[in-house]
Amino acid sequence: MADNAGTKRVPSYCYNCVAGPDFMKVKVENGVATEIEPNFDAEQVHPARGRVCVKAYGLVQKTYNPNRVRTPMKRTNPKKGRHEDPGFVPISWDEALDLVADKLAAARAKGLIDESGLPRLAVSLGHGGTPSNYMGTFPAFLAAWGSVDYSFGSGQGVKCVHSEHLYGEFWHRAFTVAADTPHCRYNIAVGANVDVTGGPCAVIRHADARVRGYKRVQVEPHLSTTGACSAEWVPIRPKTDPAFLFALIHVLIREHGLTKLDVPFLRDRTASPYLVGPDGLYLRDPVSGKPLVWDEATAHAVPHDTPGAVPAVAGSFRVTEAVAVDADKERRVYRDVAGATAYEMLARHIEKYTPEWAEGVCDVKASTIRRIANEYLEAASIGATITIDGQVLPLRPVAVTLGKSVNNGWGAYECCWARTVLAALVGALENPGGLLGTTVRLNKTRDNRHLSVAPGEDGFMVQYFNPTSKEEWQTTPATRNLHQTLVPIVGNNGAWSQALGPTQLAWMFQGERPDDWSLPMPTLPDVWLVYRSNPSISFWDTRHLADIAAKFPFMACFAYTIDETNYMADVLLPEATDLESEQMIRVGGTKYMEQFWDYKGVALRQKAVEPQGEARDFTWIATQLAKRCGLLDKYVSAINKGVAGVAPLKGDGYDFSLAGEPSPERIWDAVCRVATLTLSEGREEHGIDWYREHGFYTVPISRLEWYLTPTLVRQGLRYELPYQERLLRAGRELGRRMHERNMNWWDKQLAEYQALPEWHDVPARWIRNLEKSGAKAADFPFWLLTTKSMQYHAGGNAAIAMMGEIAQNVRGHTGVIINAETAANLGIADGDRIEVRSHIGATYGRATLAQGVRPDTLVIIGQFDHWATPYAKDLGMPSLNTIAPMSLDLTDATGSGADIVCVAVRRVEAVAA
């Protein structure tokens, strides 16, 4: 609508999902936010040309939603539970802050750690770290506090791409993995729904690529949005993806052979030449302990880093003398021993995984698998180069990308391994056009993954596994998700190591524990703080989870509306939301998903309109809590160290250190100045008023920052592929430690530690799980999956009316997607109300009949089935989360699960009680 005299446009950003941040402007008319618009000032620096996705357009209604919590509230009903009205009543900010601070102070007085060795304070934050971009200086409060347990996840492990995070970061510093879409020509997307979850940066890049003529093959049980935009859909049987990927490797290695692959890459950048002995461990030099390779120049086994050596990639060789180092550093000495190269081991391993074998597992024709493998190899254009900023690099424009529930839960190790091996075989790993990591979170520094690369053991990058040695293994878990005890690979080095532990164990073990449990009893935290997180909707077995949440002794929630989790809260604190508060964050560089830019910089989210009601800026809330907890000095010190984001407030040639009780304005002004100074290397300094006008500041970066391989070349390092000796040893050690304490409850997971992963019947694990509970598999003949929606993905916006309206335009948002023929056989018509029942419960919605879904598969979009959130609770939307069990049997070795459950479906006339 036309502008009037009282109209202004306020630059800001949207970071409601990990695919952001993206730029936007808020149109404000006479003090009221009326529209969200792109920020075309950023058109040249932002890959998405200053655009935001559909979610951001809901922020106006989010601001003025009459169902918001507008004042601090306290609970008056001491009983907690789904059927207990909390009796929230408004209170003053003083009273609310005192209530929370008193509980915090009381907990602190008893000591940060309780009698079980667990933090007394637990904090749950929502989707993918995005809350950090809305909670101002609260991270500085948490840093000032000390030990905090982030175990009670809202979805990490079960809803994120968990195994990809862990293995991706291990193999190529790739917490998130993406195709180098601007250069890619062939993308096998196995469930990767990037046109929904990749944000505007991914959407425009893949659209450009389609017009350019790249081919994307979408391998997934139902035809997603991304599948719709792909050249080909391969409707694979659910959870059989490892078999498909193994068969691709088979075709490359067994049908084409080494000469057609990228031999220099395999020889110099991977451990393919490392010799493996008869016990499955590397043969090592007896003196140095370094893995041996067979030097074709001298026809001798030599340490892998021997200058001038020409390592054989394939073959088996006799080694005069060698040692192997097993778990707990047990050494075995070998003389005149046969050593096969790791590549040779792979070639033998993959021999049985033919396309014909995979056809029987995946329900995908062998000829299709073989053709896709051939197309992949041809598109890889081995030998081609590209010049980037004066540097000649290999151009390998092929990538295999993985989606949620392919890259988490059982089978994910196999998938992550296989697709990374597929990249390595053609030299596409971290080279232009190929498979890239875009950020690190389990290593430092989080803003530059290249800086996390340093020489480690055996010619590989340094790794920071949680120790499994007898001396160092953590027998008193420091967190309720046991991440250091159970998951070596998640480490304890990065900002997110703890939060990426097996979060469902934190929930599950509050109820029942295995019979042979011999660790300290898990306790509930004295205080639980929750922000932008609703695990009672976004986890699994959510009704049960809500019952657990009701048992927490004290819970304070930063609350937008009442929801299914804060329904159990003791105190609600209304924070100023997206358009009402201020915060500076980093943008650009390389970060999540396809957010790798040609620029890096910072952007300010600013107060476009006054907060509704008594909602307060989060930085003000954090400061007040710090003050009332007696932590003000530590809190300000943390801000000075840069914990609130961007950079330390004191550095070379500048000092904006804060003291006392700084106002939010003063804090962010200092951050703004430091941000500009550090980015411009001292040339420019801009305060908060400049950013309020301009919104962001960026400087160019080289595209060479997108690719890790040149960094490994510089440091003479290899990718830890294809053979997983380190994981094998770690698993063996972990098993010994568990068994020494008479615990066998993690044995299934220990079996996942394989040097070369074998196919195991992944879908059967879900069938066995329901049979174990006493149900009959025949009664639950369908697979229920879930898929994301751009309208709702990670936005916490189920209460936004406009989003509900426009989402109806996208198939499946009315309920349950079901194959049309299957539906006809069951007497179900489009729009019929249906019950989808698993062995733990039922969920209800309207049937959406489609051809683009396998006959044995049902799909429910997003995460709904609300019962407390105003507006959302009236949508009548079903949810997989309600009926997917939390189970140790369904937890993989990384502590990850997958969104899949066996179900029955039937038409119903009315909702059952």
Partner 1 sequence: MKRYAMVIDLRRCVGCQTCTAACKSANATPPGVQWRRVLDLESGEFPDVRRSFVPVACMHCANPPCEEVCPTTATKKRADGLVTIDYDICIGCANCIMACPYDARSIVHEPRYAYGSQPIASEAARADDQRIGVATKCTFCKDRIDLAERTGQVPGRDHEVTPACVNSCISGAMHFGDVLDPESNVARLLADNESFRMHEELGTAPSVHYLLDQR
Sites of contact with partner 1 (CB under 8 A): 1-2, 29-30, 32-38, 40, 48-49, 51-54, 57-58, 60-61, 63-67, 195-196, 200, 203-204, 207-208, 210-211, 223, 225-229, 233, 235, 790-791, 801-803, 805-807, 809-811, 819-821, 850-855, 871
Task: For partner 1, give the closer residue by CB, 482 or 803.
Answer: 803
Angle at 803 between CA 801 and CA 809, to 5 degrees: 120
CB–CB of 882/869 below 8 Å?
A: no
Bridge partners for 217 per DSSP:
188, 232
Q: How far is the CB of 54 from partner 1 (least distance, A)?
A: 4
Strand stretches in 410-476, DSSP E: 435-439
Task: For partner 1, give the closer residue by CB, 216 or 616.
Answer: 216
- What would the 3-class secondary structure string for 182-218 be? CCCCEEEEECCCHHHHCHHHHHHHHHHHHHHCCEEEE
Task: For partner 1, give the closer residue by CB, 48 or 904.
Answer: 48
**C-alpha dihedral over 765, 769, 771, 774, to 10 degrees?**
180
Task: For partner 1, give the closer residue by CB, 555 or 828.
Answer: 828
Q: How far, in Å, CA of 506 to CA of 342, rounded?
A: 38
Q: How far is the CB of 7 from partner 1 (least distance, A)?
A: 10
CB neighbour list of residue 471: distance below 8 Å, 6 or more residues apart: none
Q: How far is the CB of 582 from partner 1 (least distance, A)?
A: 20
Beta-sheet pairing, 391-394 with 89-90: unpaired
Q: How far, in Å, CA of 825 to CA of 472, rounded?
A: 59
For tokens 């001298």, the residue is: 298
Nearest to 718 by CA among 313, 289, 347, 419: 313
Nearest to 852 by CA among 900, 787, 905: 787
**C-alpha dihedral over 300, 305, 306, 310, to 10 degrees?**
60
Q: How far is the CB of 835 from partner 1 (least distance, A)?
A: 23
Task: For partner 1, give the closer residue by CB, 50 or 427.
Answer: 50
Rg of the chain over all Cα atoms, to the nearest angstrom: 27
Q: How far is the CB of 1 from partner 1 (least distance, A)?
A: 6
Walk across the sheet containing 527-531 and list its strands: 89-90, 73-74, 571-573, 555-558, 527-531, 121-125
CB–CB of 812/848 below 8 Å?
A: yes
CB–CB of 577/795 below 8 Å?
A: no
Q: How far is the CB of 830 from partner 1 (least distance, A)?
A: 12
Q: How far is the CB of 223 from partner 1 (least distance, A)?
A: 5
Q: How far, in Å, CA of 67 to CA of 316, rounded?
A: 70
Task: For partner 1, give the closer residue by CB, 106 or 207.
Answer: 207
Q: How far, in Å, CA of 147 to CA of 152, rounded?
A: 14
Q: How far is the CB of 370 from partner 1 (least distance, A)?
A: 18
Task: For partner 1, give the closer residue by CB, 438 or 819.
Answer: 819
Task: For partner 1, give the closer residue by CB, 64 or 116.
Answer: 64
Q: How far is the CB of 861 from partner 1 (least distance, A)?
A: 12
Task: For partner 1, give the closer residue by CB, 49 or 444.
Answer: 49
Tokens representing 183 are 């250069």
CB neighbour list of residue 827: distance below 8 Å, 6 or more residues apart: 907
**DSSP assignments along 832-888, one per residue:** -EEEEEETTEEEEEEEEEESSB-TTEEEEESS---SSSTTGGGS----HHHHPPP-G
Q: How far is the CB of 49 from partner 1 (least distance, A)?
A: 8
Q: How far, in Å, CA of 586 to CA of 605, rounded?
A: 11
Q: How far is the CB of 673 from partner 1 (least distance, A)?
A: 31
Tokens representing 313 are 């990639």
Strand stretches in 609-744, DSSP E: 650-651, 654-655, 696-700
What letter represents residue 720's amino acid? E
Task: For partner 1, give the closer residue by CB, 272 or 819.
Answer: 819
Nearest to 108 by CA among 139, 74, 144: 144
Q: How far is the CB of 235 from partner 1 (least distance, A)?
A: 5
Plot region of 856 (φ>0 → left; ψ -120 to 50 → alpha; else → beta): alpha
Task: For partner 1, give the closer residue by CB, 470 or 694.
Answer: 694
Q: How far is the CB of 807 from partner 1 (least distance, A)?
A: 7
Q: How far, in Å, CA of 753 to CA of 730, rounded?
A: 8
Task: For partner 1, give the closer residue by CB, 33 or 576.
Answer: 33
Q: How many residues does the chain have?
A: 913
Q: How far is the CB of 40 from partner 1 (least distance, A)?
A: 5
Task: For partner 1, give the closer residue by CB, 201 or 478.
Answer: 201
Tokens representing 536 are 């009672």
Task: For partner 1, give the closer residue by CB, 221 or 434.
Answer: 221
Q: How far is the CB of 469 from partner 1 (least distance, A)?
A: 50
Q: How far, in Å, CA of 903 to CA of 655, rounded?
A: 61
Task: For partner 1, give the closer residue by CB, 259 or 809.
Answer: 809
